[in-house]
Amino acid sequence: MSATTESTGRRVLDALRRDPLAVGGTIVLVLLVVVGVAGPWLAPAGVNDVDVDQMLRPPSGAHPFGTDELGRDVLSRVLVAARVSLQVGAVSVGIALVAGVTLGLFAGYYRGWLDSVLMRCMDVLFAFPVLLLAVAIVAVLGPGLLTAMVAIGVVYTPIFARITRAGVLSVREQVFVRAAVSIGASDVRIMRRHVLPNIAAPLIVQTSLSLAFAILSEAALSFLGLGIQPPAPAWGRMLFDGRGFVTDAWWLGVFPGAAIFLTVLAFNLVGDALRDVLDPRQLTLGEARRSTT
């Protein structure tokens, strides 16, 4: 496993390095992670340092992104909010990945009634508009960071379940799976050791793309007041709070909006590049197997 992962990893890196968009996206993502980890230390001021004398000041040397209606430093709030966005992205996509891959593995491997039941449930979830479903879940569980993450995780589970199932359906027909059965390997062992590694590529791509959508969904939920609760900073919430001042204080909306835009763009660029690099190989591998069987 390690050698292939290594060589595949190196090949992917080489290919990504030749794609300027992917390089740009990766740089943004690295910066974002640094800000997410070190945000509170990088911030020039406290996120809740209210200073009514300094309210609604435009960008200046002291406040590069200006101040909000309570005189809080917008730059500091944008920097600190990065952690929330990344956390929501990672946790919610993590939930979707684990749940979706597990469901997809069992549905695709065992087929039959289990497949029908699981995938019809996924279809129902899939049929809802993403945000509507998330809002409904938050409405049931109550607003807050944790419920936002769970809601977004549930919303993106069907995508992972479908991708996984589709991959399992083709891999389970491969002779090497039959060989593993003939050896006496258990179903769980076959799924973990033989099926999953062979469907990893599309899942990696989907993970990076979903991170972008999850962050966007969190922003939307926060905008609606259903995500993280004030006074903790979140990009979506800052957009919402700034909307009343849009004609007088453009910086309240522009900077958090730009942060969302850059983050989502970066994940999308990297995800697209990964798809370009990983998918052709998957195709040729699949074709090679098909032509020899």
Partner 1 sequence: MSADTPDVVAELDDLKVHFPTPAGTVRAVDGVSLAVRRGETLGLVGESGSGKSTAGLALLRLVDPTAGRVRVAGADVTLWSRRRLRATRRHVAMVFQDPQASLDPRRTVGDSIAEPLIVHRLAASTAARRARVAELLDLVGLRADTAGRYPHELSGGQRQRVGVARALAGEPDLIVLDEPIASLDLSVQAQIMNLLRHLQRDLGLTYLFIAHDLAAVEHMSDRIAVMYLGRIVETGPPERIYRHPAHPYTAALLSAVPVADPRVERERRRIVLTGDIPSPVDPPSGCRFRTRCPQARPACAETDPALAEVGPGHDAACLFPLDGERDGGVGEGATTRADAAGTA
**Does 188 engage in binding with partner 1 (CB under 8 A)?**
no
Interacting residues with partner 1 between 122 and 181 (CB under 8 A): 174-176, 178-181
**Does 3 engage in binding with partner 1 (CB under 8 A)?**
yes
The count of chain residues that interact with partner 1, using the rule CB under 8 A, is: 26
To partner 1, the closest distance from the beta carbon of 165 in angstroms equals 19
**Does 186 engage in binding with partner 1 (CB under 8 A)?**
yes
**Does 183 engage in binding with partner 1 (CB under 8 A)?**
yes
Of 110 and 128, CB closest to partner 1: 110
**Does 194 engage in binding with partner 1 (CB under 8 A)?**
yes
To partner 1, the closest distance from the beta carbon of 159 in angstroms equals 23
Of 134 and 203, CB closest to partner 1: 203
What single-letter amino acid sits at 23?
Answer: V
Q: Write out the residues near partner 1 by the rule CB under 8 A.
A: 1, 3-4, 174-176, 178-187, 189, 193-194, 197-198, 285, 288-289, 292-293
